[in-house]
Amino acid sequence: MKIDYTELYEQLKGTDLESWTGVLPDLITHGLRPERHGLMPQWKEALASLPKVEANSIELKSEVRAEGERFQRLEEMLRTFHPWRKGPFHIHGIDINTEWRSDWKWDRVVPHIQPLEGRTILDVGCGNGYHCWRMVGEGAKLVIGVDPSAMFVCQFFAMKNFLRDSRAWVLPLGIEDVPEIHGAFDTVFSMGVLYHRKSPIEHIEQLKSFLKPGGELVLETLIADGPEGYSLIPQGRYAKMRNVWFIPSIQTLERWLKRCGLKGIKTVDVNVTSTEEQRSTDWMTFESLPDYLDPSDSTKTIEGHPAPKRAVVVATY
């Protein structure tokens, strides 16, 4: 398996995204340049060594699973891409037990959004593309995920080697690198990104710009308890994360969306992140949520802030 976007460029011809075919190759080459990560040669070698096989069965709606012939050293090859943060994946008898039970988040989100059948979708900050595969499982026509991590892109192509579906793609881009285009997507997802942006309003405005009229924004973010107008602004780290800027109350978040011209704004899920949903595993052996919480009071982070609580808000353009 190679990191190859030729098929995507062909898919974009004749669509609202055709203009991307002229700029994406250079952007992708820049995003995957070897100096971005010293392990890029190792990851590319591991991708090239993956067996080229057809699965007997593939499931993307209820989980991400490819069943077929088992291969020696397959688990060793897949562990080359450690740490695996989003999942889980079940590939030819190998269960990739990721840090996040991203399937739990998806199960909370999908009942509340417009049907994805036949839609063109942008998933901002998609990680290794786990949710992109689940969107394809819901019948999406095309899902383009963007994430600046070269490792996540390699994980995505490792899964693509077995899942063999041309409707899902992950590009090595941050949202600031995504070529400007207006009204090209039916649904835009931003899950776990807003609190990492220095300007949340600009982030929402950019997400809106990608939407077709009547399109849906699905926004998931950390939230804090408080009145309208309140945001938690950590002076230092939040749950050991350095780049957390604004954690709004639900009322503040909804007001931001309204100020940006979105309609039908509704908070559809609020969930306190548990140590069963985010934790270290043998596929992600670094620190995780249990290490980010106060050991004497799990309702607080190690810095003394309220423990992570997340909300999903949907809105239309």
| pLDDT by 10s per residue, the chain, length 317 | 999 999 999 999 999 999 999 999 999 999 999 888 889 999 999 999 999 888 999 999 999 999 999 888 999 999 999 999 999 999 999 999 999 999 999 999 999 999 999 999 999 999 999 999 999 999 999 999 999 999 999 999 999 999 999 999 999 999 999 999 999 999 999 999 999 999 999 999 999 999 999 999 999 999 999 999 999 999 999 999 999 999 999 999 999 999 999 999 999 999 999 999 999 999 999 999 999 999 999 999 999 999 999 999 999 99
Give the per-residue pLDDT at 256.
98
**Cα separation, 315 vs 261, whole angstroms:** 10
Give the per-residue pLDDT at 79.
97
Long-range contacts: 283-292, Cβ < 8 Å, 24+?
283/79, 283/82, 283/83, 283/84, 283/87, 283/96, 283/97, 283/98, 283/99, 284/82, 284/83, 284/84, 284/85, 284/98, 284/99, 285/82, 285/83, 286/83, 287/240, 288/99, 289/239, 291/240, 292/239, 292/240
Give the per-residue pLDDT at 19.
97
Helices (H), the chain: 6-12, 24-31, 40-49, 74-79, 102-109, 130-137, 150-163, 200-209, 250-259, 289-292
Q: Is the pTM of this model over 0.85?
A: yes
Give the per-residue pLDDT at 93.
95
Give the per-residue pLDDT at 38.
86
In the CATH hierarchy, which fold is given to the domain comprising 6-316? Rossmann fold (3.40.50)
Give the per-residue pLDDT at 37.
84
Give the per-residue pLDDT at 36.
82
**Cα separation, 112 vs 43, whole angstroms:** 37
Instruction: Give the three-state DSSP class for 131.
Output: helix
Task: Map out the domains of the chain as residue ranges.
Answer: 6-316
Helices (H), 39-129: 40-49, 74-79, 102-109
Decide: 121 and 142 in contact? Cβ < 8 Å: yes
